[in-house]
Amino acid sequence: MIAAAHSEFVLPGVRCAGCIAKIEGGLRDTPGVIEARVNFSAKRVAIDHDATIDVVALKDALAAIGFAAEPIKLASTQPDDREGRELVRAIGVAGFAAMNVMLLSVAIWSGAEGATRQLFHWLSAMIAMPAVAYAGRPFFRSAWGALRHGRTNMDVPISIGVLLATAISLFETIVGGRHAYFDGAVSLLFFLLAGRLLDNAMRNRARDGAAALLRQTAPGGTVLHPDGTSAWLAAEAIEPGMQLQVAMGERLAADGVVELGASSMDMAIITGESWPEPIAEGSRVVAGALNVDAPIIVRVTAAGPDTSISRMARLMEAAGQGRSHYVRLADRAARYYAPAVHLLAALSFAGWMIAGAGWHESLLIAVTVLIITCPCALGLAVPVAQVVAAGALMRRGVLVKDGSALERLAEADCARFDKTGTLTVGRPEPVGEWVLADAEAPLALALARASRHPLSAALVRTLEGKGVQAADVADLLEIPGLGVEATWQGKWVRLGRPEWVGVTGHDRLATAFALEGAPPRLLEFADRLRPDAAAAIRRMERDGFDVAIISGDRGEAVAPVARELGLLALVGMTPEAKLAAVERLEQAGRKVLMVGDGLNDGPALAAGHVSIAPASASDVGQTAADILFLGDSLMPVPIAVSAARRTLRVVRQNFALAIGYNVLAVPLAIAGYVTPLVAAVAMSSSSIIVIANALRLRRCAR
């Protein structure tokens, strides 16, 4: 019997029913795979397989079917899921109880008397009490947690209101009183759970979206053993002193020194610099870098938690501490709201006692005050507004990862942008005069296709965009570190390093092309600005932002961008310097919006009051940022800002509506006119008004 194993992969490329059928069918035909099931919503595939087939083989099998897949660690997704499930179960119970108790209550309101009323009250109690005990747990737990630490949050008045309402209703039922508020207690829970569930769903959905975009740097690498054998080891198992064989197009799994071979490395993930750096024997290389040109052998100097990428992660974790202390708007409101409400209830109890109403009636009135002021509309106001706004933003390609991100974004007054990959597209594109002759373009395309170098890829994109068809060339050969060579109609053609092709004396990012007998052509590349970067920056400035660039690049590289956008720039910033710059601003009382993508921006992204990253960012950037945007345009940043500010306005309106309703209803409650019927009608209508107001945000992302 072979041990069964379970693996899951992220599949960003799944788009249609055909993809699902192709993946599931293809995997079932792969030897060793027992069962495969695609989850379309989460863009994942779960595979049950034998121990004979490992993660790498499964990834290759998926690649053979035509889908890029990345393995995911299973443990990381579980806890959030559990919270959501508990909420769904609680809402199911609360919904069931609310419906049935409401039915019985309608009979009581319409004038059931005597034994019938008594029976209905008892039935309501039987349904409501277990339901409150079960469905109220998320609130009770949170309220208890807050009280134990001497704080108060929205859940404290909710819990007290619901528990007191249930207790007093039970007492009324036992003594055969006229009014029982079981219906109020359970429908309150139902409404509030709906708000809580929306909040939770928004966070989870955005997190799933981010996970689907997340590309793991390198889960492992091929280790050469001293005895000449080689084996694939997971990143955690790699140790200093081992020899790593790094193929072309592979990411390094550990820091090290090159022992054999020459190549160039795309270090964009570390430095944010798009130009591949040439490396030779003795060069230091870091985990996460992409080997571009030729296979090399690397002696590992630091692995696992000691790599520079892990060091950066720790720096980010420390920088992100401040943000976890952020108190959400609803909880800030509850700080004032909860004591006020409890004081009011206590006062009305005392007032009626003094007026000589007897403790029974006084207590009943105090409880109706609590029920009527229970922050039902408040509990819904914030999540509904945020979910609607986040949905609108998602349609515009902006993923909000964190529930409080929109609140924090609305407060930001100062923006810092990284350059490479943030203000610019982050990939080289041909610039300058077009030098290739018509006859040469098809040859250049044929050669460029044979290489995985980023400049070749850029050239392929451009040529294909121009509708060029690749020529038929023979003897295609890639010479590591230099370029690609082939023969065409008896002549040689070359595409590669300018010096190798025969061009000297240039200092920019370039490649060269030459056909035997014709002069060599120099093709210059540059990382261009995002198409509407200038318009987006202007809009940010109109919105009152103080905008500047903080870049890790050299001054000469940043200057043209800064000039074109009319921005001040800090250059040559290390990750630590970026972090320090953001922290200085924060200490000066500014609320910093950090926009960046690279590993070097990670700590600054985590330290900013709020942070945005493009979806093309390194995983570090994506993890650290609160909000991600898709596509080449920079416009989503100011759009997200406007949407966040509108959301904050609607949330404030909702607070005003909820409080206004209380101002109307509380005097009635204090005067003792609030029956269960009045409470039920008032509560539902205020919730509906708040939801309707929040729905106006559906078109806020403009």
Of the residues 12, 13, 26, 92, which one makes contact with other proteins according to CB under 8 A: 92
Of the residues 2, 4, 21, 681, which one makes contact with other proteins according to CB under 8 A: 21
Contacts for 92 with CB less than 8 Å, ≥ 6 apart:
none
Task: Work out the number of other CB atoms within 10 angstroms of the CB of residue 220.
Answer: 20
SS3 letters across 609-671: CEEEEECCCCHHHHHHCCEEECCCCCCHHHHHHHHHHHHHHHHHHHHHHHHHHHHHHHHHHHH
Please, which residue, 91 or 561, has the CB nearer to other proteins?
Answer: 91
Among 155, 208, 293, 418, the active-site one is 418
6 sits near other proteins (criterion: CB under 8 A): no
Interacting span for other proteins (CB under 8 A) from 95-103, 133-141, 199-207, 265-273: 95-103
Check if the beta carbon of residue 225 is closer than 8 Å to that of residue 419: no
Please, which residue, 116 or 469, has the CB nearer to other proteins?
Answer: 116
**Look-up of token digits 């002021």:** 373
Please, which residue, 30 or 100, has the CB nearer to other proteins?
Answer: 100
Residues making up the chain, counted from first to last:
702
According to DSSP, residue 452 is labeled: -
With H, G, I as helix, E, B as strand and everything else as coil, classify residue 315: helix
Least separation in angstroms between residue 675's CB and other proteins is 23
In the window 442-481, what residues touch other proteins (CB under 8 A)? Answer: none
Compute the distance between CA of residue 260 and CA of residue 601 in angstroms, rounded to an integer. 32
88 sits near other proteins (criterion: CB under 8 A): yes
Interacting span for other proteins (CB under 8 A) from 13-21, 329-337, 339-347, 598-606: 13-21
Residue count at the site for other proteins (CB under 8 A)?
A: 24
**Look-up of token digits 């929306």:** 198
Q: Is 532 a catalytic residue?
A: no
Interacting span for other proteins (CB under 8 A) from 96-104, 192-200, 453-461, 500-508: 96-104
Least separation in angstroms between residue 256's CB and other proteins is 42
Of the residues 55, 61, 87, 127, which one makes contact with other proteins according to CB under 8 A: 127
Check if the beta carbon of residue 352 is closer than 8 Å to that of residue 361: yes
Please, which residue, 91 or 470, has the CB nearer to other proteins?
Answer: 91
In the window 28-57, what residues touch other proteins (CB under 8 A)? Answer: 38-42
Of the residues 65, 106, 123, 668, which one makes contact with other proteins according to CB under 8 A: 123
Residue 379's nearest CA partner among 340, 307, 305, 328 is 328
Interacting span for other proteins (CB under 8 A) from 98-106, 388-396, 585-593, 680-688: 98-106
12 sits near other proteins (criterion: CB under 8 A): no
CA distances from 27 to 215, 467, 485 (A): 22, 36, 38
Task: Work out the number of other CB atoms within 10 angstroms of the CB of residue 214.
Answer: 18
Residue 270's nearest CA partner among 288, 258, 250 is 288
Take residue 525 and report the two structure tokens written for it: 């590349």
Check if the beta carbon of residue 49 is closer than 8 Å to that of residue 37: no
Interacting span for other proteins (CB under 8 A) from 81-89, 263-271, 373-381, 525-533: 81-89
Least separation in angstroms between residue 96's CB and other proteins is 5
Least separation in angstroms between residue 40's CB and other proteins is 3
Least separation in angstroms between residue 385's CB and other proteins is 24
Compute the distance between CA of residue 578 and CA of residue 597 in angstroms, rounded to an integer. 13
Interacting span for other proteins (CB under 8 A) from 87-95, 269-277, 338-346, 663-671: 87-95
Compute the distance between CA of residue 497 and CA of residue 517 in angstroms, rounded to an integer. 18
Interacting span for other proteins (CB under 8 A) from 86-94, 346-354, 475-483, 577-585: 86-94
99 sits near other proteins (criterion: CB under 8 A): yes
Of the residues 6, 48, 85, 339, which one makes contact with other proteins according to CB under 8 A: 85
93 sits near other proteins (criterion: CB under 8 A): yes
100 sits near other proteins (criterion: CB under 8 A): yes
11 sits near other proteins (criterion: CB under 8 A): no
C-alpha angle 66-70-72 in degrees, rounded to nearest 5: 145
Please, which residue, 112 or 678, has the CB nearer to other proteins?
Answer: 112
CA distances from 141 to 172, 184, 347, 613 (A): 27, 21, 28, 34
Reported as half-sphere exposure (CB side, CA atoms, 13 A), residue 310 has a value of 13
According to DSSP, residue 481 is labeled: T
* Site string (503-532) toward other proteins, x via CB under 8 A: ------------------------------
Of the residues 6, 89, 151, 332, which one makes contact with other proteins according to CB under 8 A: 89
Take residue 490 and report the two structure tokens written for it: 């008896």
20 sits near other proteins (criterion: CB under 8 A): yes
DSSP string, 560-581: HHHHHHT-EEE-S--HHHHHHH
Helices 137-148 and 182-213, packing angle to 10 deg: 80
Binding site for other proteins (CB under 8 A): 16-18, 20-21, 25, 38-42, 85, 88-89, 92-93, 96, 99-100, 103, 116, 119, 123, 127
Catalytic residues: 418
